């Protein structure tokens, strides 16, 4: 039998590894998320798919008896130092820099203060309190590198996004990631005992762009909360709850409003649809659910102005970011989710929408070809030409039977992305990292 077994929608995932003697799962891990708190609502500020990932993963790890302590930067003075997120999951707020008004770009200067806070928390415990450090995103990776060395434990790191990959696929007029981030990421790739990639493509990018050792890279697909994101009582009921027109065609954008996510492409595609058939105006309702973020903050009104310029301001409806339960209703209510991103390490939103029974029209980038099955659960569009997106939308609009078939297939496809699977695969990565770390320490001392 080959070294890999196929599971999770045809991707290659290493089989469960068996270690000779003395292997065990970690009892307690320190998880680091410097720039975005697991308590923040996705779609606000820098909060997005990564927040969902950390919260869900931590809860499922706790359910298989791995305690998780998540360190994150305090963003308000009244926050308690420690919050129990779920049984077995603690969130520790670390003071590092002013609470308000720090952009993600300002955070590298606060890493020393953040590391100090992490070390202070650790100093209150007896030695061996944490078995492993799992850092998310490069800022956390730097703190994790130092903490893991100091505590004599392995470092497992998840990039989530990578500067070199983003810079290779920049939206027009978007700001490239700085060289300091590229250098930082390169150092973490070298220092980590294990790197977790969301998809096979991300694993390849780590090797190709950052010269990662392929033996250190493990592919674990993120999951989706299948209890929350499901077809439930269907589209009509969701539209009634949200006060949306029952017979409208609703192409939804849900996510942070910034050039990288390319919501403008949806607006341009809708304008092309109307150009081709002006009678559609009464049937189209285009919700944009999310707030400006990152480089989108430079022109927060940019998208509203574009809608007005394209003559579609009357059918584009801007909604502030919403909580996860309400987001599930938006997915159910939508005719399709549109994700024209320039770069996406996985695209969790695409799986969430499909789990709710909604087909997805997405750019063929990053992890989206794993998330979306082209022509089966939606359409993958090569490139970012609005005409291609308009064409895909027209196909769904013109053929309700196709849309319904895709929605059913989408819900079925999403079922293979449960968080329990992701958590047990992550625990396997931890076990492997600990086993090799111990072996290395022994041979070093021997």
Instruction: Provide the residue-wise pLDDT of the chain in tens; the chain has 446 residues.
Output: 223 233 333 344 444 444 444 568 899 999 999 977 888 765 555 566 788 889 999 999 999 999 999 999 988 888 899 999 999 999 999 998 887 777 778 888 889 999 999 999 999 899 899 999 999 999 999 999 999 999 999 999 999 889 998 889 888 888 899 999 999 999 999 999 999 999 898 999 999 999 999 999 999 998 888 999 999 999 999 999 999 999 999 999 998 888 878 999 999 999 999 999 999 999 999 999 987 766 676 776 889 999 999 999 999 999 988 888 999 999 999 999 999 999 887 788 999 999 999 999 999 998 899 899 999 999 999 999 999 999 999 999 999 999 999 999 999 999 988 899 999 999 999 999 999 999 988 887 76
Is 268 among the annotated ligand-binding positions?
Answer: no
E strand or H helix that includes residue 303: helix 302-309
Is 67 among the annotated ligand-binding positions?
Answer: no
Both 203 and 280 in one domain: the answer is no
Both 286 and 366 in one domain: the answer is yes
Tokens 């720090």 belong to which residue?
Answer: 102
Collapse the DSSP code of 233 into the 3-class scheme (helix H, G, I; strand E, B; otherwise coil) and give the result: coil
Residue 4, in any domain of the structure: no
CA distance 220 to 224: 13
Specify the DSSP class assigned to residue 110: G
Is 50 among the annotated ligand-binding positions?
Answer: yes
Of 162, 197, 187, nearest in space to 177 by CA: 162
CATH number for position 119? 3.40.50.2000
Is 161 among the annotated ligand-binding positions?
Answer: yes
Residue 341, in any domain of the structure: yes
Is 41 among the annotated ligand-binding positions?
Answer: yes
Is 401 among the annotated ligand-binding positions?
Answer: no
Residue 8, in any domain of the structure: no
Burial class (CB in 10 A: 0-12, 13-18, 19+), 224: buried
Is 187 among the annotated ligand-binding positions?
Answer: no
Is 225 among the annotated ligand-binding positions?
Answer: no
Both 193 and 309 in one domain: the answer is no
Is 332 among the annotated ligand-binding positions?
Answer: yes
Is 104 among the annotated ligand-binding positions?
Answer: yes
Residue 280, in any domain of the structure: yes
CA distance 308 to 291: 18
Both 84 and 125 in one domain: the answer is yes
Is 51 among the annotated ligand-binding positions?
Answer: yes
Is 47 among the annotated ligand-binding positions?
Answer: yes
CA distance 138 to 134: 12
pTM across the whole model: 0.80
Both 40 and 74 in one domain: the answer is yes
Is 48 among the annotated ligand-binding positions?
Answer: yes
Give per-residue burial for 331-362: e unless 16+ CB within 10 Å, then b: bbbbbbbbbbbbbbbbbbbbbbbbbbbbbbbb
Is 223 among the annotated ligand-binding positions?
Answer: no
Angle at 441 (CA atoms; ends 438, 443), nearest 5 degrees = 110
Domains held by the chain: number: 2
Domain that holds residue 204: 28-223+419-444
Both 163 and 260 in one domain: the answer is no
| Maximum C-alpha span of the chain | 79
Is 361 among the annotated ligand-binding positions?
Answer: no
Phi, psi angles (nearest 5°) of residue 313: -60, -25
Is 224 among the annotated ligand-binding positions?
Answer: no
Is 1 among the annotated ligand-binding positions?
Answer: no
CA distance 269 to 267: 5
Residue 189, in any domain of the structure: yes
Is 394 among the annotated ligand-binding positions?
Answer: no
CA distance 343 to 366: 6
Is 181 among the annotated ligand-binding positions?
Answer: yes
For residue 223, give both structure tokens: 């999951």
């Amino acid at each position: 039998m080959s070294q890999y077994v196929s599971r999770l929608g045809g991707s290659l995932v290493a089989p469960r590894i068996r270690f000779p003697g003395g292997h065990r799962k970690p009892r307690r891990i320190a998880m680091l998320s410097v720039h975005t708190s697991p308590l923040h609502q996705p779609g606000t500020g820098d909060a997005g798919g990564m927040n969902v990932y950390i919260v869900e993963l931590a809860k499922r790890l706790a359910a298989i008896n791995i305690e998780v302590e998540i360190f994150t930067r305090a963003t308000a003075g009244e926050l308690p130092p420690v919050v129990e997120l779920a049984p077995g999951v603690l969130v520790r707020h670390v003071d590092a820099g002013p609470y308000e008004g720090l952009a993600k770009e300002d955070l590298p200067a606060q890493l020393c203060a953040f590391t100090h806070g992490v070390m202070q928390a650790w100093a209150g415990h007896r030695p061996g309190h944490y078995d492993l450090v799992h850092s998310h995103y490069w800022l956390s990776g730097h703190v994790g590198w130092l903490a893991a060395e100091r505590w004599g434990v392995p470092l497992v790191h998840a990039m989530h996004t990578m500067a070199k990959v983003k810079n290779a696929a920049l939206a027009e007029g978007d700001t490239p990631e700085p060289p300091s981030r590229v250098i930082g990421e390169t150092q973490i790739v070298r220092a980590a005992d294990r790197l977790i990639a969301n998809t096979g493509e991300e694993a390849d990018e780590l090797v190709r762009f950052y010269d990662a050792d392929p033996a250190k890279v493990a592919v674990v697909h993120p999951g989706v909360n299948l209890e929350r994101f499901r077809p439930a009582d269907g589209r009509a009921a969701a539209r009634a709850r949200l006060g949306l027109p029952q017979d409208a065609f609703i192409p939804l954008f849900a996510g942070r409003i910034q050039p990288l996510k390319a919501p403008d492409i949806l607006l341009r595609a809708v304008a092309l649809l109307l150009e081709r058939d002006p009678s559609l105006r009464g049937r189209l309702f285009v919700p944009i659910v999310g707030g400006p973020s990152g480089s989108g903050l430079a022109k927060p009104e940019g998208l509203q102005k574009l809608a007005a310029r394209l003559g579609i301001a009357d059918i584009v409806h801007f909604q502030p970011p919403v909580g996860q339960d309400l987001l599930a209703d938006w997915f159910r209510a939508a005719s399709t989710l549109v994700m024209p991103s320039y770069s996406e390490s996985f695209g969790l939103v695409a799986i969430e929408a499909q789990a709710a029974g909604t087909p997805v029209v997405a750019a063929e980038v990053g992890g989206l070809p794993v998330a979306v099955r082209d022509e089966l659960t939606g359409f993958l569009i090569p490139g970012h030409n609005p005409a291609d997106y308009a064409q895909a939308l027209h196909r769904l609009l013109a053929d309700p039977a196709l849309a319904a078939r895709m929605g059913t297939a989408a819900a079925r496809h999403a079922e293979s992305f449960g968080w329990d699977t992701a958590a047990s695969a992550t625990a396997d990565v931890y076990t492997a990292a600990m086993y090799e770390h111990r072996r290395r320490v022994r041979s070093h001392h021997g």
